[in-house]
């Protein structure tokens, strides 16, 4: 058997490149019961092995693993146009990249919220308005198969995606010998959660916040006067123009609470070797979290030039940005976590997300501490503070 049903070294990253690369269209790519995209190999499979060649499951990486970014150039940057910064997730480097290369004749491929199907998917931007649509991070798995299957030999593309999508794509274009025509951009990735979380979140908003069941637009990274870059707001808008805004979204919004406590991410996200050990992109971008820019309210992007092409790209676009040179220690401060830690309640949460319990009840059941427990942990904190003070 020479197809992705063979077991590999890693779990499926659900990047979709197996389906894109299959010359016989023998791989369906759909969402499974737990809410993750998974490939399904059909009877048309000829065992040609094309899918195996691009698949993250068989990625071995270096051994012992090295940090991919130790020797790389690291920058802090934000757009010179403040409107761009405020409309972007962090400092707007993503948008400036896409705008610049769109003007240079590149086709731009990034992620849009597909309202009719309530999913996120990669699209190839055709207009300036498409570039605005693909701007900002959508914290859901995106469907790549349709857009990535449209890539043509003689065209130039800039593609942004998760590190695993970009890894699969790099393998694919290397095999096709299309490398020269592509600029690949990824980001430091926290992982992508189960679609069942998104479904439950939608039900919760419709039920409790009186929004219509059809969402027109979602902005996971809204910046407003109350919730600026660090605090972040979640914004959902329906087709009737009604809006739901949750200020202090990272800490207060139910979707983010489940996403950021790692209780329902794809299993490949937890030991992802593409987070710090290996990177297949030309440029990596991220939020410049950490001490260095803690007082900046607008947003700062972290940028790493990972290849020679990445360095050229950087030389071409940096006149559009305010740039500050940084180093590996700054990067570690900002993105130190090597692996995203597994929440011990993950299996239970994934099972419950399939059922009909409302999301707020699920949160209370699994994560809200009782008054007694809260009191106890407060007491423990005080005790350890006293001990530390006595030692000094
Ligand atoms: C799922 C996910 C997890 C992330 N985790 C982290 C993290 O742990 N730490 C961190 O510092 N930054 C993380 N980021 C990156 C961060 O949110 C910003 O994208 C980054 O700071 C760049 O900001 P920007 O304003 O320059 O670009 P943005 O406007 O945010 O653009 C980034 C590019 O990513 C594409 N994109 C958006 N959503 C998706 C998606 N679901 N899948 C694939 N591509 C997508 C967009 O089309 C765009 O081209 C994550 C992003 C995503 C989508």
Block mean pLDDT (10 aa), the chain, length 392: 92 97 97 97 97 95 72 97 98 98 98 95 96 97 98 97 98 97 97 97 93 94 96 95 96 97 97 92 97 97 98 98 96 87 97 92 87 64 73 68
Q: Considering the domain boundaries, does residue 44 fall inside one?
A: no
For residue 94 and ligand 1, the question of a CB distance below 6 A is answered with: yes
Verify that 326 and 228 share a domain, yes or no: yes
Give a yes or no: residue 217 inside a domain. yes
Alpha-carbon distance values, 259 to 214, 240, 249, 288 (Å): 22, 28, 11, 19
Q: 190 and 129, same structural domain?
A: yes
Are residue 290 and residue 364 in the same domain, yes or no?
A: no
Which atom of ligand 1 lies nearest, measured to the CA of 165? 43
Task: Please tell me if the CB atom of residue 190 comes closer than 6 angstroms to any atom of ligand 1.
Answer: yes
Q: Which long-range contacts (CB under 8 A, 24 or more apart) does 174-182 make?
A: 175/21, 175/50, 175/53, 175/54, 178/151, 178/153, 181/153, 181/154, 181/155, 181/156, 181/157, 182/156, 182/157, 182/158
Give me the number of domains the chain comprises: 2
Residues 238, 383: one domain? no
| Best of 99, 121, 137 for a ligand 1 pocket test (most atoms within 8 Å of beta carbon) | 137
Polymer length in residues for the chain: 392
Residues 69 and 195 in one domain: yes
In a domain, 29, yes or no: no
Which H or E run includes 114? strand 107-114
The number of the ligand 1 atom at minimal distance from the alpha carbon of 88 is: 25
Whether residue 34 is contained in a domain is answered as no
What separation in Å is there between the alpha carbon of 11 and the centre of ligand 1? 22
3-state secondary structure at position 274: coil
Residue 92 Cβ inside 6 Å of ligand 1? The answer reads yes
Note the pLDDT of residue 262. Answer: 97
Which residue, chain included where needed, has tokens 């030389």? Answer: 315
For the entire predicted model, the pTM comes to 0.94
Residues 320 and 231 in one domain: yes
What pLDDT score does 336 carry?
Answer: 73
User: Does residue 181 lie within any of the structural domains?
Assistant: yes
Distance 366 CA to ligand 1 centre (A): 28
Give the pLDDT score at 65: 57
Residue 210, pLDDT score: 86
Q: What pLDDT shows up at residue 368?
A: 86
The answer on 269 and 130 residing in a single domain is yes
**Is residue 257, in this structure, part of any structural domain at all?**
yes
**Residues spanned by the domain of 103:** 62-343
> Is 350 inside a domain boundary?
no
Going by the DSSP 8-state scheme, the letter that residue 9 receives in this structure is S
110 occurs within a structural domain: yes
367 and 334 within one domain: no
- Tell whether 108 and 142 lie within a shared domain: yes
């Amino acid at each position: 058997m020479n197809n992705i049903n063979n077991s590999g070294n890693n779990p499926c990253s659900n990047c979709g490149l197996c389906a894109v690369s299959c010359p016989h269209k023998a791989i369906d790519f759909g969402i499974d019961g737990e809410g993750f995209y998974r490939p399904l190999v059909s009877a048309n499979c000829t065992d040609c092995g094309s899918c195996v060649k691009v698949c993250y499951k068989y990625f071995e990486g270096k051994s012992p693993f090295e940090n991919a970014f130790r020797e790389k150039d690291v920058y802090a940057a934000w757009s010179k146009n403040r409107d761009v910064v405020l409309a972007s997730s962090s400092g707007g480097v993503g948008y400036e990249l896409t705008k610049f290369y769109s003007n240079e004749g590149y086709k731009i491929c990034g992620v849009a919220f597909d309202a009719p199907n309530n999913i996120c998917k990669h699209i190839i931007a055709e207009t300036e308005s498409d570039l605005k649509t693909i701007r900002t991070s959508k914290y859901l798995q995106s469907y790549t198969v349709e857009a990535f299957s449209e890539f043509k030999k003689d065209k130039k593309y800039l593609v942004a995606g998760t590190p695993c999508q970009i890894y699969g794509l790099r393998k694919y274009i290397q095999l096709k010998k299309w490398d020269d025509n592509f600029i690949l951009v990824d980001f430091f990735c926290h992982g992508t959660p189960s679609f069942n979380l998104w479904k439950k979140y939608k039900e919760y908003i419709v039920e409790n916040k009186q929004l219509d069941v059809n969402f027109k637009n979602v902005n996971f990274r809204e910046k407003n006067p109350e919730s600026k870059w660090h605090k972040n707001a979640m914004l959902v808008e329906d087709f009737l123009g009604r809006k739901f805004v949750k200020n202090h979204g990272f800490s207060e919004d139910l979707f983010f609470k489940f996403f950021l406590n790692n209780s329902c991410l794809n299993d490949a996200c937890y030991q992802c070797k593409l987070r710090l050990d290996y990177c297949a992109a030309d440029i990596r971008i991220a939020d410049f979290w950490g001490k260095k820019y803690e007082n900046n309210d607008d947003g700062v992007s972290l940028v790493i030039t990972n290849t020679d092409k990445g360095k050229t790209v950087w030389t071409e676009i940096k006149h559009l940005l305010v740039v500050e040179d940084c180093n590996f220690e700054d990067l570690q401060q900002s993105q130190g976590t090597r692996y995203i830690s597994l929440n011990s309640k993950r299996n239970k949460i994934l099972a419950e997300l399939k059922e009909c319990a409302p999301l707020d009840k699920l949160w209370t059941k699994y994560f809200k501490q009782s008054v007694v427990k809260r009191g106890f942990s407060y007491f423990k904190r005080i005790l350890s503070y006293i001990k530390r003070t006595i030692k000094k």
